[in-house]
Amino acid sequence: MFSKLGFFRFVANYNKPIESLESAIKAHCDVSDFLIVLPEAFNISKYYRDAGDCDYSRDILDQLRAVAGKGDVTLVAGLIVEEPDGPTPPYSSAYLIDGSGAAVICRKHGADFSGAPPLTPENVRTHWNVPISERIRFSNYTPCEAASNTANPLKHQGASIAAIICMDCDLPYVFRPIEERFSMMAGPKIVCIPACMNSVYLDDAIAATWPEQYVILANSDSHGCRSFISKEGTIMMRDNHESENTIVLCAP
């Protein structure tokens, strides 16, 4: 099991993801044997809901592997990266990354309007009624329509680690299979939620849906649901909604 669990509060300098993460890690004297969750679309070099082009380069995987290896940490990162024969825009995925490599844990299934114009009184009625096939035009990613990845959760360092991306934490067809697989696995169980999540979602409610697990939610929306770390349905550590990037840690 990990010596500490944590999340990266990434709320500034979105165009410098690696530099921002490295700076936050340097603030801690010893980050050995930590599990740190990075938010949804950590790599796209802009705030998730802002207009503009996204950086989908796969270079981020090697860069994060180097960061993890240097600090002897395990990262669960929400990334949108190009894949051979993959869709355009790419899938939004959660990767488990350490010094030895990177593995996909899950892909995001729900469709959002991440690249859409802001809500206005004029478009609010139609904003959420657009068919999923049309939503891709307004998204930073392509929703995955395939069945849940059977590698979710996976075993790592004596723990069973699952990942669910943002709005998928509220989709039964996504989290029910994870619950079933957890029931057949021994040892500590950790649910990692990379997110850019608004205030409609509540931290206590999310934590309560996992009464026998740890949950780490890393949210890049500084005004939305608080990032947190919970154990057996009870939140042990919450984000304080401050405006600087930092890593928040808690002993399991």
177-230 confidence digits (pLDDT tens): 999 999 999 999 999 999 999 899 999 999 999 999 999 999 999 899 999 999
Domain 4-250, CATH 3.60.110.10 — does that match?
A: yes
Q: Rounded mean pLDDT of 15-40?
A: 92
Question: Taking all residues of the chain, what is their mean pLDDT, rounded to a whole number?
Answer: 90
Confidence (pLDDT) at 43:
98
Residues 94, 81, 111, 53: is their CA dihedral positive or negative? positive
128: Cβ–Cβ under 8 A, 6 or more apart, which residues? Answer: 113
pLDDT band at 128 (very low <50, low <70, confident <90, very high): low
Distance, CA of 17 to CA of 61 (rounded, Å): 12
Sequence spans of domains, the chain: 4-250
Residues 140-182 have pLDDT tens digits of: 999 898 876 668 999 999 999 999 999 999 999 999 999 999 9
What residue type is assigned to position 241 of the chain? H
Q: Rounded mean pLDDT of 64-72?
A: 93
Record the pTM: 0.92
Confidence (pLDDT) at 127:
54
Residues 87-125 have pLDDT tens digits of: 999 999 999 999 999 999 999 998 886 765 555 555 555
Confidence (pLDDT) at 50:
87
pLDDT beyond 90 at 136? no
CB 39 within 8 A of CB 220: yes
Distance, CA of 67 to CA of 18 (rounded, Å): 8
CA angle 23, 228, 159 (to 5 degrees): 85
